[in-house]
Amino acid sequence: MAMLARTPDRPPHISPADPANRFEAADVAAGLRLARGKDHPVVRRLGSASEIGSWKSLLALSAGTLALGLAARDRRLAAAGRHMLEAGILASLVKTSLKRTVHRTRPNVVLDEGYYARGWPGTNVGPWQSFPSGHSALSAAVACAAVRAYPEVAGPAYAVAAGIVAAQVLRGAHFPADVLAGAAIGVAAEYAVDRVTHERRRPPR
């Protein structure tokens, strides 16, 4: 698996590596197997649709929800938008920090280039930013925040988030462990924001 990459912008500190343990080996094998159809037109369309889970799209959705709630004087909607925005920003900060701390080759690069690498430090170069999945982190954070405000939308919100998470593996953007870690970051970020804002809303004794 350790072949020279043909990608021209590979950072010099990145070198080939074999999976360190059985878990990583199974994760890589599963990711490559699931991403074999990444160039199929249906998967390409699915990948394009999953861009609603990008940080730009979800933070815009959250800010728009907040603005709409304020304009309509709908306190519940405004609170939902604020919570979605805060959870999304925290999830984005955590995933970006991790991407800059560690590097890991994306599955599509492994399939196209035959090159797998992971280690320290991170990089700002996309092909080696597989861990963790930002789409998964923000999708989970925003979905959980929306459901906390509007429990009746739990089914659609979680279904859309799950679809975005799955699409990242099928399109070869992330390995399964990357999206699971991303989703965990999103859930934790939303919970942390809720705890902080809950304490902030509590009346003084």
Look at the pTM and tell me if it is higher than 0.85. yes
Of 8 and 51, which is predicted with more confidence? 51
Could you tell me how far CA 89 lies from the centroid of its own chain? 12
Listed by start position, the domains of the chain span: 39-201
Q: State residue 157's pLDDT score.
A: 98
Statement: residue 205 has pLDDT above 60: no
Rounded-to-integer distance, Cα 153 and Cα 204, Å: 32
Mean pLDDT of 41-52: 96
pLDDT at 201: 54
For 115-154, the pLDDT digits (tens) are 899 988 888 888 999 999 999 999 999 999 999 999 999 9
> Mean pLDDT in the chain?
90
Q: Is the pLDDT of residue 2 over 50?
A: no
Res. 19 pLDDT band, cuts 50 70 90: confident
Q: Which of 134, 152, 161, 115 is nearest to 9 (CA)?
A: 115
pLDDT tens-place string over residues 144-184: 999 999 999 999 999 999 999 999 999 999 999 999 999 99
CA distance 200 to 205: 13
Q: What is the pLDDT of residue 91?
A: 98
Low-confidence winner among 15-29, 50-64, 104-118 (lowest mean pLDDT): 15-29
Q: What is the pLDDT of residue 122?
A: 84
Confidence of residue 20 (pLDDT cuts 50, 70, 90): confident
